[in-house]
Every structure is written in C-alpha cells, then in structure tokens.
Amino acid sequence: MPSPASTLRAADQIAYLDQAASSDPGRRYKRQLLTALDLRPGHTVLDVGCGPGTDLPAMAVAVGGDGAVLGIDHDPEMVEQARHRTAAYPQVSVRSGDAHALPCDDASVDRARTDRVLQHLADPGQAVAELRRVVRPGGLVALADPDWDTLAIDAVDTATSRAYARFIVSDVVRNADIGRQLGRLLADAGFEVVAVDATVAMFRDYDEAEAVLRMPAVARHAWQSGALDEASARSWLASLTDGPFLAAVTFFTAIGRVPKPRASARASET
Ligand SMILES: C[S@@+](CC[C@H](N)C(=O)[O-])C[C@H]1O[C@@H](n2cnc3c(N)ncnc32)[C@H](O)[C@@H]1O
C-alpha cells in the first residue's frame, strides 16, 4: 500500500504490490472501488498507474469481450508484467504513458481509475485534469490513496513512533497527505463529486503489516539519513514484535462524474 515501496527495486516492488493487494485491507478497498466504478459490458475503462496489472483482469471480466480495458504505467517493468498477466484477456491492452499527459483522446473512455498513484506524482492536479479530459460526459472516475499523515503505530516509545511517521511524510512519500485531498482534486478538475469515503486500514498482525509498511527497511533508511536515532529505532522495531501489535492508516476513495452538458447548452450549440 504505501510507498515505503519507493525504497524497493522493481522486482521487489511487484512483490510488494502483490502482497499489499492480497492483504485484508487491500482486498476490501479494491472490491469497493470496483463496485463504485459501476462497470458495464461494453465499457472502455482506463487504469492509470496500473502497476503489474493487479486490477486489470477483474475489470476485463466486468466489461466483457465487447469492452476494452487500457492499463497505463510509466515504468517499463510494470508495463511488461501487466501485459504478461493479462495475455489471456484480448480486451486488455497495456501502454507505456505518463499520468500527467495521457495517451488518450478527449472523452474517449467511460470509466477511469487511479489506485495509490496520485501520492507519487509531481502534479496530482494535472493528472486529475487529464482524467477529466479523457472521460466522456456522464462517465465516472475513481481515485484511491492513503493519507500517510494519519499513520499511527502503537509502541511504548511513542516518540519514535511519531518520528517514524514524520519521516514517512517528509522523506518517503511525495504527496503524503493526498488521501484527504481527493474530493477537492475532483471538484477542482470539474468533476461532480459523487462520493468521498475514508476507511481505516488497520493491522493487528505484525507480519501482515510488515508486508505493506516495510517497517525495518524504512526505519533503516530513517536512521541512515539521521531522522531516527539508530539505537532507539532498533529497540522500537524489536518492541513491535514483542506483544500486541497495532498500526493504522486512513485510506480515502473518491468518485467523480463528468457532468453532462445541459440541454439548453446543447441546443445553443446546434
Ligand atoms: C503503488 S503503485 C499502484 C499500482 C496499481 N495501481 C495497484 O493498485 O496495484 C503506483 C504505480 O503508479 C505508477 N506511476 C507512478 N508515477 C506515474 C506516472 N507519472 N505516470 C504513470 N504511472 C505512474 C508506478 O510505476 C506504479 O506502478
């Protein structure tokens, strides 16, 4: 889920994304997002920042053989992996492209989504404006991103928990508080905001959390860069596996619709 993944090499990132998607919180919000997109047979749907293609097969099934699913990612290794994983679905194509300048015509898709992509982008507002450009009037867009500024990890050493969370916000994730902004980004781009939801991704099992949060790797990164004291961080890490564990982060989703032109506006155009 997070972008503690940004500390990983490509193959590890793919494994990381698979683990995050198969965690309980991951499966839950992905199911909700798919339902909210309201895909119908024959739809054309765009997945911007599709990664290794995790969600493309489910969308391919939903739009059927008469529909089309287009995955876009700027990372060639993700594109290759997504193509490999969707080879059995002729309605899926995967292209290399940048979320800030989508390789798609205006009003050419019925649905579009970004899933944990905006947190990484140089200009999330531009990416949402691009979604507005390519989705047809009446079409829907779904955005999902965590808000790392809400990360809470329980430990007796709360000072290190706080310093660790601050490090993620300031040094690890580019747009750490993007989650809370999703509805505003949709409105600013000219979408009608249909829904904004927040859920808590909570982990009470250290191993499940570790698959997503990568605490030792991020903590090492933090002490190497001087953001955490190494001895305190090591004993904080050890304490996390010693007794009940709890970590939680708020995860946001937002659904937008492209307004249809009003009848009077349409009449005056003809
Ligand atoms: C956290 S992963 C999420 C992947 C996928 N959406 C999922 O839910 O499994 C973020 C993805 O966004 C892609 N990405 C980051 N910046 C991008 C950009 N400017 N244009 C296109 N893709 C981008 C990354 O290569 C990565 O595959």
Q: What is the CATH number of domain 4-147+175-201+251-260?
A: 3.40.50.150
Pocket residues: Cβ below 6 A from ligand 1: 5, 17, 21, 49-51, 54, 73-75, 78, 98-100, 115-117, 120-121
Closest Cα to atom 13 of ligand 1: 49
Indicate whether 1 pLDDT > 50: no
Query: Against a cut of 0.75, is the pTM above it?
Result: yes
How far away, in angstroms, is 242 Cα from ligand 1 center? Answer: 34
Determine which of 166-180, 202-216, 230-244 has the lowest per-residue pLDDT on average. 202-216
**pLDDT bucket at 270, cuts 50 / 70 / 90:** very low
Mean pLDDT of 209-231: 94
Which of 134, 128, 53 is closest to 94 using CA atoms?
A: 53
Among 7, 12, 120, 141, residue to substitute to test ligand 1 (most atoms within 8 Å of Cβ): 120
Mean pLDDT of 243-259: 95
The token pair that represents 248 in the structure block = 């939680």
CB 51 within 8 A of CB 78: yes
